[in-house]
Copies of this chain bind each other. A is one copy, B any other.
Amino acid sequence: MEAPEHPMEAVPSQPARPPDALARCHALLREPMRAVEESLEETIHSTVQLIPEVSRHLIGSGGKRIRPVLLLLCAKASGGDERRGVGLAVATELFHSATLLHDDVVDRGHLRRGVTAAPQVYGNSASVLVGDFLLSRAFSLVVGHGDLRLLDELSRVLTAMAEGEVLQLIRSGRLTVSLPDYVQIISGKTAGLFSWACRAGTSLGTVDVAGAAAEFGRELGMAFQIADDILDYAAPSADSGKDVANDLLQGKTTLPLLLACETDPSLLGLVESVAAAGPDQASCRPIVERVLASGAIDSARQEAQRHADRAVARLSDFPDGPLRKCLAELADFVVRRAD
């Protein structure tokens, strides 16, 4: 029997057709992205059968592979051979997946990429330990690349990721968070790895755009996470692959709620009483409705757009051409998916 071309992508809950900008990026990277999928499958192999099983549950359920795409595009856009970036690209997806596994233990989330989150299927223990396995495999791939400076930057990114997650955890009980806290949380948990992926890609290039790539990735990551936080309020579950208002149920305050409380201060009292009683579907519903009615979603979209615009501005250091154009389109794509 012939092996399927993309063995890890054939899951029914995945939307039938990826949105255009990302699809165009994938089309430009057909060969290396095929190598990424093959390498992902190889990398999660273990004689301990539960490890590939749990890994495949998450990694095989699709996902946009946006971090590998960014890394390979930045490699190519800076004049590098993107095929040399496959190992690093796989590593970014593995770091991201490990974080999701650990984050799902934390959050008792229900849906992840449209399927039941791993801890509900395999237990907390398996999620923690398989997450650790993926971390070690990702680490191994980056070490194999042999660039100590990239490794040093990566270790700082991972530290900030953990700090962002812990800060989010501390704040989650109270359902209130300051804007600086929110920025530190999403900067740590999302923007850092986006930034590293872009910077790592350009390390393979022939023109020195490392600084611009790191900034592009950081701004794109901020836009991406804000859009994700908007989707939690504004998207039907089937589209986002996650429960609606899942963040709120878990006590996480994100930008829409933050902005809604600014324009509607009386909302703060409701949020505090819901947080004190322990949020559930019924008690969260009026909060969601008031957030939607407050205009905060539009304001949050504008904030995401500002980050995307800053990302695009940093691309001026890149050589002009269809690859730079693709990177710019990606920045628009991550905001527009929250429309």
- Which residues from chain A sit less than 8 Å from chain B, CB to CB? 46-51, 102, 105-107, 124-126, 128-130, 132-133, 135-137, 139-140, 143-144, 146, 148, 151-152, 155-156, 158-159, 161-163, 165-167, 169-170
Between A and B, 9 residue pairs with Cβ closer than 8 Å are A48-B167, A50-B170, A105-B105, A105-B124, A135-B135, A136-B155, A136-B162, A143-B148, A144-B152
- Residues B165 and A132 in contact, CB atoms below 8 Å apart: yes
Checking B51, B102, B166, B170 against A166 with a beta-carbon cut-off of 8 angstroms, the contacting residue is: B51
Given A139-B139, A151-B151, output 11 extra A-B contacts at Cβ < 8 Å.
A50-B169, A50-B170, A51-B162, A51-B166, A105-B105, A132-B161, A136-B159, A136-B161, A139-B155, A140-B152, A140-B159
- Residues B132 and A106 in contact, CB atoms below 8 Å apart: no
Q: Which of A50, A143, A158 has the most CB of B within 10 A?
A: A143
- Residues A140 and B156 in contact, CB atoms below 8 Å apart: yes
Checking B126, B155, B165 against A129 with a beta-carbon cut-off of 8 angstroms, the contacting residue is: B165
- Residues B130 and A158 in contact, CB atoms below 8 Å apart: no
Given contacts A155-B139, A161-B136, contact A166 B48 (CB under 8 A): yes
Which 7 residue pairs of A and B lie closest in terms of their CB atoms, listed nearest first? A140-B155, A136-B158, A133-B162, A106-B125, A136-B159, A132-B162, A143-B151
Alpha-carbon separation in the docked complex, A163 to B152 (Å): 26
- Residues A105 and B133 in contact, CB atoms below 8 Å apart: no
Alpha-carbon separation in the docked complex, A136 to B146 (Å): 18
Q: Which of A48, A106, A139, A156 has the most CB of B within 10 A?
A: A48
Alpha-carbon separation in the docked complex, A156 to B143 (Å): 11
- Residues B47 and A130 in contact, CB atoms below 8 Å apart: no
Cβ–Cβ < 8 Å partners of A158 in chain B:
132, 135-136, 139
- Residues B105 and A128 in contact, CB atoms below 8 Å apart: yes
Given contacts A140-B156, A143-B155, A152-B140, contact A105 B132 (CB under 8 A): no
Alpha-carbon separation in the docked complex, A151 to B125 (Å): 27
User: How far in angstroms is the closest Cβ of chain B from A56?
Assistant: 14
- Residues B129 and A48 in contact, CB atoms below 8 Å apart: no
Q: Which of A133, A158, A159, A166 has the most CB of B within 10 A?
A: A166
A98: nearest chain-B partner, CB-CB? B132
- Residues A137 and B159 in contact, CB atoms below 8 Å apart: yes
Alpha-carbon separation in the docked complex, A294 to B169 (Å): 48
Cβ–Cβ < 8 Å partners of A130 in chain B:
162, 166
Alpha-carbon separation in the docked complex, A136 to B151 (Å): 11
User: How far in angstroms is the closest Cβ of chain B from A145?
Assistant: 10
User: How far in angstroms is the closest Cβ of chain B from A131?
Assistant: 8
- Residues B124 and A166 in contact, CB atoms below 8 Å apart: no
Given contacts A152-B144, A167-B48, contact A125 B139 (CB under 8 A): no
